[in-house]
Structure 1
Amino acid sequence: MRENIKCNKTFDKKEIRSLIEWFLNNYGGIRTIKLLDKLKALGFKQASIAGISLGIDDLKIPETKKILFKNTEKDLNKIEIKAKNGRINSLNRLDKITETWNRTNELLKDEVIKNLRQTDLLNPVYMMTFSGARGNISQIKQLIGMRGLMSDSQGEIINLPIKSNLKEGLKIPEYFISCYGARKGLVDTAIKTANSGYLTRRLIYAAQSLIVKKNDCKSKYNKLLLSLKKDKKYYKILQEKILGRVIARDIYDKRKNKVIASAGQDICQYTLKRISIYKKIYIRSPLTCKLNTGICQLCYGWNLANGRMVELGESIGILAAQSIGEPGTQLTMRTFHTGGVFAGEVAETIIAPHSGNIKYNSFSKGREIETKYREKAFFTLEEKKLTITDGKTQKSVIYIPCYSIIFSKNNEEVSNRQILAQLCDWQELKGKKKKKELREIKEIKTKISGQVYFDTINKKEENGIIWIINGNILTNKILYKNRIKKNYIIKHIFLETKNENYKQINIINNDSKTQRIQKNYLSHKELKKLKEFNIDNKLKSKIYCVNKVTNRKKEFLTNKKLLTKSLKIRENLPKIGEFVYKNKIIGRRFVNKYPLQVIEIKKDHLKVQKANPTTISKNCQINIKNNSLTKKNKTIFYTHHQKQKTEDIVQGLPKIEELLEAKKTSNFRSISNNPHEKLKKLFTCFEKKYSNEIAVRKSIDRIQKLLVEKIQSVYKTQGVNICDKHMEIIIKQMTSKVIILEAGDSNLINGETIEINKIEKINYKLETKVKYEPIIIGISKISLSNQSFISEASFQETTSVLTKSAIEGKIDWLCGLKENLILGNLIPVGTGYKMQKTL
C-alpha cells in the first residue's frame, strides 16, 4: 500500500488550486469530488473553531513609515533645487515626483507585509489577505500604509499624494483628492460594465456557429513556436501556450536518432518536459483549420475543463467568447473597490536595512552615468557586493545583480531605508524589448516675465538651457509721446526733487557711436499712470533698468530689483554676464538663494539680477527667439512627453474593442499602423516573392499572431490569463474571408467576399486561378455577414437584414445555435457517441 503523503506547509488559495489540479490529473474526477467535499468540511469546521473577527487594533501601522517619508522628502528637495537651477524642466520634475511617491508607496507596502509577518502571523488581516480568502494587498495598503497617488476621472495622475492611510484618517485636501477616484469608480462600474456586456454579446454572435465538426481537417498549415530560453519563467509561459495542443510535425532528436514526439500527438505534462528543450515546435491551431464550417478536434486540442481531447459537438465558439468577455465585467467591478488609486509599473529597488557606511568596489566592470533626472549614479555590469557597517553593532552584506544602477557612492553614509540601487531590465537596455509609451505634445511655460537668452542649442541632446532674465514688461504709449524712437534704450529712470510736477528720464541713443543723452520730462499725471507699471516716485535710491525696446509690440523691459552682494575675498569670481546657479558659493562670502546673472563687479560688492533657467528636452520645438521679451506663462517650447496613466481595465477595454472591431479611426482621427494597413503592406511584400495563395496565407498568419499578442497584452497587465486558443477562435472569424481581385475561370464577381478555405478548394480545380486579397472584418460586421439571416436579424439592423435577405431570396440552412434557438429546434451541439453519429 502507498504511504500517506505529508505536506507540512501553509496551504493558501494558490496551493489548494495546485493540489486539486495535481489530484485531478493523477486520480481522476470522481475521487477529486470526494476530496473537494472533505476540504469544504475541513474549512467550515476550522473557520467555526477559529472565530476570526476584524478589529481596529488588528490594523498595525509600521514604524518605518516616518523614516520612508523623511527619505522621500530629502530626495524631492534635491529635485526642487535641480528644477530651480534649470537642470530639469517642469515635466521631468512632475515625473520624478510621481515616480518617487509611487516607489515610496510600494516600499511601504513591503514594510506593511514585513511588519505583519514578523510581529503577528495570526493577525486576522494578514490571514484573510494572504490566504486569498478576502481582500487584497491594495486594500490593506490603503488601510495601514498610505493611499498614495490618485488618478482623476481621465485616468491621469494627480501629483499631490495622499500620505495618510484610512486608519489615521484623511486631511481635508486629501479627502477632496480622493473624491476623484471614488467618483471614477462609481462611473466606471455603471457605464463600463455595460460596455463590457455589449462586447461579450458581439463576441457571442461572431463565434456562436463554431462547433467541433470533424476529427481531422488534414490541414497542411501550422503554427510555429520557438523555445529559446530555459529559465523557469519562460517554461511556465511555454506550458500555457502548448499544453493540450496537438503536434503538427514530428519532433526528431538527431543525437539519439529517434522520434521524440510524432505528428497528431497531444501534448501532456510528460511530453512537454521532453520537447521543451527543442528550439522549434510546430503545433496545430484553430487559426489554420481547413473546415468550411466549424473546427476539427486536432486543430483545437484539449477541452481545458477536463484535460482531455475535445469531443465532437462541443460549442467552442461560445466558450471562447465568454472567456474573453467575462474578465472585462469582473475587472470593471475591481476599479470600484480600489477607489481610483494609481497603479503603474515600479522598478525593483534595493533599500538599506539600517544606517551606516557603505562600501563596494567602484573600479570593477561598470561606468558612471547620469539619469534623466540629472542624478549621478554607477551602472554595474557585474554582480556587486555591498557592505553596510554601523560601527561594531551592525553589519549587512547585500549582493546587487548585474545591470543595476547604484545611487550611493563608495564610502558614503547612508540612512535607514534609503534607496541604494535600482534593478534594470537588460532586454530594455539592449533595445530588444521596446517599452510601450503613450506620448503626447506638452508645452513648457515660463514662470516669470523677462528677456530670453540662450546659447547655441542642440535640439537632439538635452544640454541646452534657456534663461529668462527677470523683469517687468511695460507697454506704455506715454513714453512714445515723449520722443522715444527706434533703438533707443532707457538706461535709468530716476527722480529729482527740484520740480515736484516733472520727473526726468535719461535716454541713451543706441544707434550713434557717441552716445547722446536726451532728457525727457514726464508730468505728474503721467507718473500716476506709470505707477501701474511698478515705477515708484517715493524711493529715491531705487534704480530701474530698461534693456530692450521693441517697436512693433511697444514693449519695454524694466528690472524691479538689482541685488548687491558684498565681497571680502576675491577668489573664483564669475565673469560679467555669466549666470550663477542656486547654492553656489561666490567669493567665499555667501550662497545665493536663486539663479542669478552678474551685471557688475566692484572692489567690495557684486551687482546681480534674478534669472530663471529651463532645460530643453530632446527633439523639442522652441517657440521663442533669442534676446526677445516674454511675458509670464508664455510657452517657451513644445516637447514630447510620456503620458502616465493608471493601468486599469477601463483604459484596456476600449483597446480590446478597437482591436476586435479592427477600427481604422478613433475619435475622428485615423489610427496609425492599424491592422488593415499592416495587412496590406505585408501582402504587397509577400506577393513579390510568393504565389497568390502563399502570400495571402503568410500575411494572414502574421496579422493573426499580432492581434493575439496585442489583445493578450491588455489582459496580462490586469493579471488575467486567458488561453491563446480562445483568442485564436475569435481572430479566425475575423481573418477567415478574402476579397476577389480577378475572377479567372470561376463564376465569382470581382469585389465579392468569400471564405479563404472555400476559394482555395475552388482554385484547386481551375486552370486560370482566382486572384484574391486578404481582409480583416470586425466582430460586429462578422455578426451581420453570417450565413444565417435569422442570426443576423436577431443581432441588430433587423429591418435592413430581413429586407436584403428577402430581395436576394436567401436560404437559412440552420447551421448555428442562434437560428435553431429562435425557431425552437434542438441546437446542433452536444457531446458523446449519438452526437458523433448525427454529425
Structure 2
Amino acid sequence: VAQYFTSTHGARKGLADTALKTANSGYLTRRLVDVSQDLVVIDEDCGTDNGLDMYAVVEGSEVVESLGERVLGRVTVNPIVDAKSGEEIVAANTLIDEFAVEKISDAGIDHVLVRSVITCESKSGVCAKCYGRDLARGNVINKGEAVGIIAAQSIGEPGTQLTMRTFHIGGAASSAAVASSIVVKTSGAIRLHDVKAVENKDGNLITTARSGVLSLIDQHGQERERYKLPYGATLQVKDGDSTEPGMTVATWDPHTRPIISEATGKVKFVDFEEDVTVAVTADAETGLSTLTVIDPAERSTAARDRRPQIVISGKKKSDSSTYFLPANAVINLHDGSQVAAGDVLARIPQESGKTADITGGLPRVADLFEARKPKEPAIMAEATGTISYGKETKGKQRLVITREDGTTHEELIPKWRQINVFEGEQVEMGETISEGEPDPHDTLRLKGVKALASYMTKEIQDVYRLQGVKINDKHIEVIVRQMLKRVEITDPGETTFIAGEQTSRQRVLEENVRVEQLGGAPAQYKYILMGITKASLATESFVSAASFQETTRVLTESAVKGSFDQLMGLKENVIVGRLIPAGTGLAYHETRKESRHLDESLFLQKSGENELPPGDANGETEQPAE
C-alpha cells in the first residue's frame, strides 16, 4: 500500500507539472510572437560590412558545437582564406553551404565573421543576406518571409519539453569535488589567450590575470579543448608546447585564493599590529606562526581605517610594489623576509560553496528573454584603469578606478561581496571584479551589442541543449534584435531629437538619413535592452500593443499622444482585416504604393497644367502628417 501511495504521488506531480508547463510555455510563445511579429525580410542586401564572429562552442574537453555547424547557412562578411595555401575558400558575401563548411574545417580555420540579423542595417525588417539560408528550403531566404514569427515558434514550440522546476545543485558532496587542475584529454598544442603570468623560481608560470583561457589546438588548427585559468594557477606548460592525453597542464588550490607577488625583493609589513589589525596563531605541531588580517568590523574604532599591506622593495627605490590585504587573509611570511616573483604572499580562504540552485528550463529562458536583473549580479569594471580602494563607509567598500587621463570612477560595493582585484591592478572595461551572474544590461553597456548577442545565444542554447533540443542561433538573434529596438539619444547632432530621449532605432535611422542629405550632423545613440513583454508594449504600433496586454493603458496613452499607426506589422493588419505585408502580401502592398505614387504625380501634373500660373508648376506636394 505504501508503495502504491508513493507512486501515485509521483504520477500526480508529473501530470500537474505538465499541465502548468503547457500554460507557461504557451505564454512564452505568445510573448515571443508578439515581440517579433513585425520582422519580415524586406530587401535583398542592406550592404553592411558588420557581423558576428563565430567560434566553435567548446566546454572543457568537449566540442559542443563545431564551427562548421554554427556558420552553415550564413553569409560571409570577408573572404575566408586558407592560411597555409593562401587560397580563397569562400568569397565575401557568399552563403556558406555544406561544401564550404567541409573546406573550412579542413583548412583549420578557428573563427569566421558572418552576417547576422543583429548587425543588419535595414530600417524596418531585415535583409536576406543578413538572415542567410531559409531553414525550411535550404536556399537564401525569400523577400516577404515572416522570419520573426518563425523564430518565435522555433523557440516557443520546444518549450513544453523543458523542465519547470529548479535543480538543487551544491551541498557538501559536490563542493568537495571542486576542480583543482586541468588535465587535457587529447594531444595537441597549447595556446594561451589573455594570460598575464610571472615566472617563479622553479621556472613555472604563475597566472596573474583573471580572464585567462587555455585552449588545445589539434594539427589542423582546430580548437579541441578550452579551459578557464583562475588567478594564481601554476602552469606546467608554456604557449606553443605540445601535450599528450592525460597530461596535467595547470594546478591551483581550490579552497583559497592567493595573492601573488609580481616582483622580487624584501618584504616590509605596514599597519601590522598584533591583536589590533592582525591576529597571530601558532601551529602547535610545527611551531610556525601565521598572521590573519582581522575584519575591520571586528576591530576597535581607532583601528578601523588602518589597512594592513605588504610592501616589496626591490634593488631600486622605484621598484617597490604594494599589496593591500583584504579581511581574513592569511600570511605565512615574516617581516624582512625575501620573496621572488611568483611567490604566494597571502591566501584568502574561499567561502565554502553556497548551495546554488540552478534555475533550469522554462523559468531560465523566460528570465533571459525578459532581461531580468539577476539577484546577485556580477560586478564589472565601469572603466579601464588602475584599481585603488578609497575610504570605506558603513557596510560598503569604496572601489576607485583611475583612468590613464587621471579621471576616476568610484563605486560602492557591499562588504560581503568578494572582490577579485587587488590595489594597483590594471583592469579592462567590462572585466569581472566580483563573481556572480552577468547582468545583460551591464554586458550591453560595457561590452557592446555583439558581446550581449553571444551571451544570450550561449545561455539560451545551454538550457535547450540540456534537454536535447536543437535550435538555430538565428532564431535567438532575431528575438535579441527585437529586444534592442529602442535606443537612447546620446548626441542629437542636427536632428529633431533631444539628448536622453528614448525612441525607436528605425526613427533615428530615418531622421539621420534626412539630416545627412541636407549636410547636417547625424544623431548618436546607444542601445537599450528591453524584456520581450516591455518591448511588445513599446512597439510603434498601438493596435498591436493594445491587443497584447494592458489594453486600456495603451489606448488611453495613444489617444492622449495622438498616435498614428502606419499598420506596418502583421498583427495590426490582421486586426483591421487587410492583407498582411508578408509573403505575396509584401509584393501586393509594394505595387499598391508604387501605383498610388504614380497616380498622385500624374494628377499633380494634370492639375498643374490646368490651374497653376506659368512658372509655378514645381510639382511639389505637401507630405501627409504622421
TM-score range, shorter chain: 0.5 to 0.7
1:740 and 2:449 correspond: no
Give yes or no for contact 2:56–2:70 (8 Å, CA) kept in 1.
Answer: no
Structure 1 residue 325: Cα displacement: 0.9
Counterpart Cα distance in 1 of 2:133 and 2:153: 18
**Deviation digits for residues 106-148 of structure 1 (CA, Å, limit 9, x no counterpart):** xxxxxxxxxxxxxxxxxxxxxxxxxxxxxxxxxxxxxxxxxxx
Match of 2:49 in 1: 220
Cα 1:293/1:427, change in 2 over 3 Å:
closer
1:275 maps to which residue? Answer: 104
One of 125, 132, 138 as aligned partner of 1:294: 125
Distance 1:746 1:832, change over 3 A: closer
Q: 2: distance between equivalents of 1:819 and 1:833?
A: 14
CA distance in 1, matches of 2:117, 2:185: 45
Amino acid at match of 1:823: V
Letter in 2 for 1:651: G
C-alpha distance in 1 between matches for 2:590 and 2:39: 18
Q: Does structure 1 conserve the Cα–Cα contact (< 8 Å) formed by 2:57 and 2:65? A: no
Does the 8 Å CA contact 2:116/2:130 hold for their aligned counterparts? Answer: yes
Shift of 1:287: 0.7
CA distance in 2, matches of 1:281, 1:686: 33
Q: Aligned equivalents of 2:546 and 2:591: distance in 1?
A: 28
In the other structure, the counterpart of 2:264 is none
Q: CA deviation at 1:758?
A: 4.8
User: Does the aligned pair in 2 maintain the 1:247–1:263 contact within 8 Å?
Assistant: yes
After superposition, the Cα gap between the structure-2 partners of 1:686 and 1:723, relative to the gap in structure 1 and judged at 3 Å, is farther
Structure 1 residue aligned with 2:160, among 315, 329, 332? 329
1:20-53 Cα deviation digits (max 9, x unpaired):
xxxxxxxxxxxxxxxxxxxxxxxxxxxxxxxxxx
Partners of 1:372 and 1:232 lie apart in 2 by 21
| The one of 708, 711, 714 aligned to 2:460 | 711
| Pairs within 5 Å for 1:480-629 | none
Whole-angstrom CA distance in 1 between matches of 2:168 and 2:140? 43
Q: Is the 8 A contact 2:161 2:467 kept in 1?
A: no
Structure 2 length as normaliser, TM-score?
A: 0.53
- Residue 790 of structure 1 pairs with residue 543 of structure 2: yes
Take 2:565 and 2:22, find their aligned partners in 1: how far apart are those partners?
34
Tell me how far 1:329 sits from its aligned partner: 1.7
Contact 1:242 1:267 in 2 (8 A): yes
Cα offset for 1:656? Answer: 1.2
- Counterpart in the other structure of 1:657: 366
**CA apart distance, 1:192:** 2.7
- With over 3 angstroms needed to count, the CA separation of the structure-2 counterparts of 1:193 and 1:828, relative to structure 1, is same
TM superposition shift of 1:756: 3.8
1:405-424 pair list within 5 angstroms: none
For the residues of structure 2 that align with 1:778 and 1:194, how far apart are their CA atoms?
Answer: 20
Give the SS at the match of 1:216: coil
Q: Pick one of 421, 443, 449 that aligns with 1:700.
A: 449
Aligned equivalent of 1:823: 576
Q: Distance in 2 between matches of 1:697 and 1:225?
A: 20
Question: Secondary structure at the residue paired with 2:360?
Answer: helix
What RMSD over aligned residues (CA atoms) do the two structures have, in Å?
5.0
- For residues 779 and 247 of structure 1, what CA distance do their matches in structure 2 show? 29
Tell me: CA distance 1:190–1:457, structure 2 relative to 1, closer, same or farther (3 Å).
farther
Per-residue deviation at 1:698? 6.3
Q: How many residues align?
A: 389
Deviation at 1:209, TM superposition (A): 0.2
For the residue of structure 2 that corresponds to 1:738, the secondary structure is strand
After TM superposition, give the deviation of residue 235 of structure 1 in Å: 9.0
Give 1:253 shift: 3.5
How far apart are the structure 1 equivalents of 2:77 and 2:404?
Answer: 24
Partner SS for 2:113: strand
Separation (CA, whole Å) in 2 of partners of 1:194 and 1:776 = 26
Contact 1:313 1:836 in 2 (8 A): no
Q: Counterpart of 2:480?
A: 731
1:720 aligns with 2:432: no
User: Deviation at 1:808?
Assistant: 1.5
Unaligned runs of 5+ in 2: 187-223, 234-248, 250-280, 285-326, 330-349, 385-400, 408-427, 430-443, 593-626
Is this contact kept in 1: 2:162–2:362, CA < 8 A? Answer: no
SS in 2 for 1:701: helix
Against the structure 1 CA distance between its residues 701 and 178, is the aligned structure 2 distance closer, same or farther, given a 3 Å change threshold?
A: same
Q: What residue is the counterpart of 2:338 in the other structure?
A: none
> CA contact under 8 A between 1:240 and 1:723: conserved in structure 2?
no
After superposition, residues 281-360 of structure 1 pair within 5 angstroms as 281-332=112-163
SS at match of 1:309: coil
Scaled by the length of structure 1, the TM-score of the pair is 0.40
**Which amino acid counterpart does residue 296 of structure 1 have in structure 2?**
C
CA contact (8 A) 1:715 1:721 kept: yes
The structure that is helix-richer by fraction is 1
In the alignment, structure 1 residue 211 sits paired with structure 2 residue 59? no
Q: 1:777 to 1:184 in 2, by over 3 A?
A: same
Q: In the alignment, what sits opposite 2:437?
A: none
Residues 1:429 and 1:240: Cα distance change in structure 2 (over 3 Å): closer
Residue in structure 2 matched with residue 475 of structure 1 by the alignment = none
> Is residue 489–residue 502 contact of structure 2 (8 Å, CA) maintained in 1?
yes
Q: Is the 8 A contact 1:620 1:639 kept in 2?
A: no
Q: For residues 220 and 838 of structure 1, what CA distance do their matches in structure 2 show?
A: 30
In the alignment, the residues of structure 1 paired with residue 169 and residue 373 of structure 2 have an alpha-carbon distance, to the nearest angstrom, of: 30
1:807 aligns with one of 557, 560, 569: 560
Tell me if structure 1 keeps the 8 A contact 2:41–2:128. Answer: yes
- Deviation readout 1:362-402 (Å, 9 max, x if unpaired): xxxxxxxxx9479xxx998899xxxxxxxxxxxxxxxxxxx
Aligned partner letter, 1:777: M
Change in Cα spacing, 1:323 to 1:671, as seen in structure 2 (3 Å) is farther
* Distance verdict in 2 for CA 1:268–1:686, change over 3 Å: farther
Task: Decide whether aligned partners of structure 1 residues 700 and 341 sit closer, same or farther in structure 2, where only a CA change above 3 A counts.
Answer: closer
Asked if the contact 2:486/2:505 (under 8 Å) is kept, the reply is yes
Q: For residues 705-760 of structure 1, give each alpha carbon's deviation from its aligned partner in whole angstroms, at most 9, with x where no partner exists.
A: 21111111111111111100000000011123221234332211233223446535
Contact in 1 for aligned 2:61/2:185 (Cα 8 Å): no
* Residues 299 and 836 (structure 1), Cα distance of their counterparts in 2 relative to 1, 3 Å cut: farther
Q: Is the 8 A contact 1:686 1:699 kept in 2?
A: no
Cα-to-partner distance string for 1:675-728 (whole Å, 9 max, x where unaligned):
xx89x779x9999999xxxx9896122112211111111111111111000000
Q: Which amino acid aligns with 2:535?
A: I
- Once the 2 structures are TM-superposed, how far is the Cα of residue 227 of structure 1 from its aligned partner? 5.7
CA spacing shift, 1:757–1:379, aligned 2, 3 Å? closer
Structure 1: which amino acid aligns with 2:377? S
Deviation at 1:305, TM superposition (A): 1.0
* Residues 673 and 758 of structure 1, relative CA distance in 2, 3 Å threshold: farther
Give the Cα–Cα distance (whole angstroms) in 2 for the partners of residues 785 and 379 of structure 1: 48
Task: Provide the C-alpha distance between the structure 2 equivalents of 1:247 and 1:659, rounded to a whole number of angstroms.
Answer: 28
Which of 744, 768, 774 is residue 527 of structure 2 equivalent to?
Answer: 774
Conservation of the 8 A alpha-carbon contact between 2:79 and 2:92: yes
1:672 aligned residue: 377
Pick aligned residue for 1:185 from 14, 36, 57: 14
Q: C-alpha separation between the residues in 2 aligned to 1:808 and 1:379?
A: 61
The answer to whether the 8 A contact 1:260-1:275 is kept is: yes
Distance 1:734 1:457 in 2: 58
Counterpart AA for 2:92: A
Q: Distance in 2 between matches of 1:373 and 1:175?
A: 37
Asked if the contact 2:62/2:225 (under 8 Å) is kept, the reply is: no
- Contact conserved, 1:745 with 1:769, CA < 8 A, in 2? yes
Cα distance in 1 between the residues matched to 2:104 and 2:473: 20
Range moving further from structure 2, 723-732 or 809-818: 809-818
Which amino acid letter does the alignment assign opposite residue 804 of structure 1?
A: E
SS at match of 2:43: coil
Amino acid at match of 1:661: E
